[in-house]
C-alpha cells in the first residue's frame, strides 16, 4: 500500500498529466502520466492513469503504445467496474463515472468501439 505522501504525489502527477493533455502539452503530459503509472500499485488508480496515457499517446500518433495502454486499463477495469455495472444499478462514484468517460473517449479515439 502506498504511503499518504506517495499517494498524493501519484495523484498530483496524474492530475498534472491530464491537465497538460487537455492543454495540448503532450510531451509534458506523458512525462507526468508515465511517472504516475510507474508508481501506481492500486489497480483502479493504475487503470485511470493508463486511460489518460492512452489518449496522450494517440495524440502523439503512437497508436500501438496507445492501444497497449488501453488494453491494460481494460483488463484492470473489467473486474473492478465493467463486470459490476449491473450490480451497481446506476449508482456510480465520481471516479467510476470518470473512468467510463475516459474509456469511451479512448475507445472512440482509437477506433475500437
Domain ranges for the chain: 4-110
pLDDT of residue 6: 87
Return the SS3 of 76: helix
Whether residue 2 is predicted with pLDDT greater than 70 in this model: the reply is no
Q: What is the mean pLDDT of residues 7-19?
A: 95
pLDDT digits (tens, 9 = 90+) for 26-51: 999 999 999 999 999 899 999 999 99
Return the SS3 of 108: helix
pLDDT of residue 112: 79
DSSP state of 41: -
pLDDT digits (tens, 9 = 90+) for 74-105: 999 999 998 888 888 778 889 998 999 999 99
The Cα 59–Cα 101 span in angstroms is: 17
The Cα 39–Cα 61 span in angstroms is: 25
Instruction: Give the model's confidence band at 24: pLDDT under 50 very low, under 70 low, under 90 confident, else very high.
Output: very high
Question: Is 76 in contact with 47 (CB distance < 8 Å)?
Answer: yes
Q: Is the dihedral of CA 112, 46, 50, 24 positive or negative?
A: positive
Considering the entire predicted model, what is its pTM? Answer: 0.90
The Cα 109–Cα 75 span in angstroms is: 18
> Of 1.25.40.10, 3.30.450.20, 3.30.420.40, 2.40.30.10, which CATH number belongs to 4-110?
1.25.40.10
Amino acid at each position: 500500500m502506498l504511503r499518504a505522501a506517495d499517494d498524493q504525489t501519484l495523484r498530483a502527477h496524474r492530475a498534472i498529466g491530464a491537465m497538460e493533455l487537455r492543454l495540448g502539452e503532450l510531451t509534458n503530459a506523458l512525462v507526468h502520466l508515465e511517472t504516475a503509472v510507474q508508481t501506481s500499485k492500486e489497480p483502479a488508480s493504475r487503470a485511470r492513469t493508463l486511460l489518460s496515457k492512452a489518449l496522450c499517446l494517440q495524440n502523439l500518433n503512437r497508436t500501438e503504445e496507445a492501444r497497449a495502454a488501453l488494453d491494460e486499463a481494460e483488463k484492470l477495469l473489467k473486474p473492478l467496474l465493467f463486470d459490476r455495472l449491473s450490480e451497481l444499478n446506476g449508482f456510480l462514484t465520481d471516479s467510476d463515472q470518470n473512468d467510463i468517460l475516459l474509456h469511451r473517449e479512448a475507445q472512440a479515439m482509437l477506433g475500437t468501439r
